[in-house]
Chain A
């Protein structure tokens, strides 16, 4: 089983655009959208949901004011200042550590598990897809990403599919770590800007830290060709396999507005570049 995660460090470099095209190009695969707090892949792949489940994440304390004797022990112990002077727990500040629950002398604090979102198994025109929606302002995006990857793995096994393509999230934190740990390879999509290269370096350090074979490509490379060359040189020096450039073209936006992957929508230079990148990615995964 091969698992490929597409990430970028910086947001908006074109991760989902590329994953949507890979979806059309790859054979025998399961798609997984691991950008759970701003999922967009479904807008292109228009999944038909076949199975839906609640995602239960952490817990939140709730004080029963009828039982509460106002001793203040909970307020004193809470490291997150989540309990008001009138003994109401602020759900946003509560970290779900359960310290107040454990120590309450009159057992006045309940500790229910939260439903933090939903996850889905769907069918798309390019095969099965696992995706999710984290409720707004919820936590545990990392554990939801792990759940999605597990489900994608189970689905691939059941159907005899050998590749999982994962659309990751921006940043280098909890959901990104959950989306890359133990995968076959990572593809970093960057852009030739000072922010793009800065964030590529950080996310490249992250994949090196976890010893994951890493590839990179530059989207909108013609926006600044010198910077694109600099990125390519950086990749070669840091053992990141450079797999290609994609030119800037408004066709990408038109394809998105039409709800299509670029390679489905046009045969132009962007499509050709993505196709060439996919061939290199496929070869890299096979090695």
Chain B
């Protein structure tokens, strides 16, 4: 029974990840406007933790903060006999023994705990290292969660994973992914039921769309395309979508009024209310495609 119930819920309440290889194509615009246009319980997760922007538009009231930490080694020099096994096991050069000294480089540590496990004298303990924060709250009826990486930090995937721990299966979840196609994007996409790839009809847009399609195909996630500023550029994206049989969910024309509103942090649906209906139609297409 439980399993059946869960399957039903997953089918009805999808996790949709909005991604794009190229930055600045309108991911955040699509994700935020989609989230506020839908009926029913919706949650919004901003997983672009390096440059989170969705809060500038959704203006959530945040009422919850937690630190994201990873466990890095702390060496007890009284116990250590400088055998060097910790340095041997570490693949990331985050710990090394030189003579009677143990050097650790917490910013390189991936928190695999190999050094702690291998130490024959149990001289290595854990210390929490802060990577960033998670903040949570509400934007109208939409539950809002985002992560924010600390400046100077290199590793965003652990923060993205922590944002995603807030996914509620009983809600429609909209994820705003970071740009690119490497580990942070994969972490954001993983486990989603559907990927919306936002692009613009230019050679850069097309090139990066192909990379994004490669990423969602690697993860076996069904996808559809939203073409933003659809009237500026060439027909490369449309031709590609046809060749690859990828559905185009929606085309959004370039609109100076929307662009100016965006610049001030005002959402598209607030200056063009008719867009709500169009986002709902796009969502219905996604539900249909997931089946």
Contact = CB atoms under 8 A, between A and B. Distances in A.
A198 interface: yes
Contacts of A16: 204
Nearest to B26: A12
A38 B118 contact: no
A102 B118 contact: yes
A203 to B, nearest CB: 8
A56 B54 CA distance: 36
A206 interface: yes
The number of chain B residues touching the other chain, given as a range, is 35 or more
B218 A137 contact: yes
A170 B179 contact: yes
Contact of B204 (A43, A141, A194, A227): A43
B23 A170 contact: yes
Contacts of A177: 152, 154
Nearest to B264: A194
B89 interface: yes
A141 B23 contact: no
Contact of A92 (B180, B186, B262, B264): B186
B81 interface: no
Interface residues of A, number: 63
Interface of B: 21-25, 28, 50-51, 53, 56-57, 89, 91-92, 110-114, 117-118, 149, 151-156, 178-186, 190, 202-204, 207-208, 211, 214-215, 218-219, 232-234, 259-260, 262-265
Given A37-B21, A136-B218, A173-B50, 6 more contacts: A11-B24, A38-B22, A38-B23, A193-B263, A194-B264, A196-B263
26 contacts: A8-B23, A9-B51, A16-B204, A38-B211, A43-B204, A79-B112, A79-B113, A95-B110, A97-B110, A99-B112, A102-B114, A137-B214, A141-B183, A170-B23, A170-B50, A170-B51, A171-B51, A192-B263, A202-B151, A223-B263, A224-B260, A224-B263, A253-B202, A253-B232, A256-B204, A259-B203
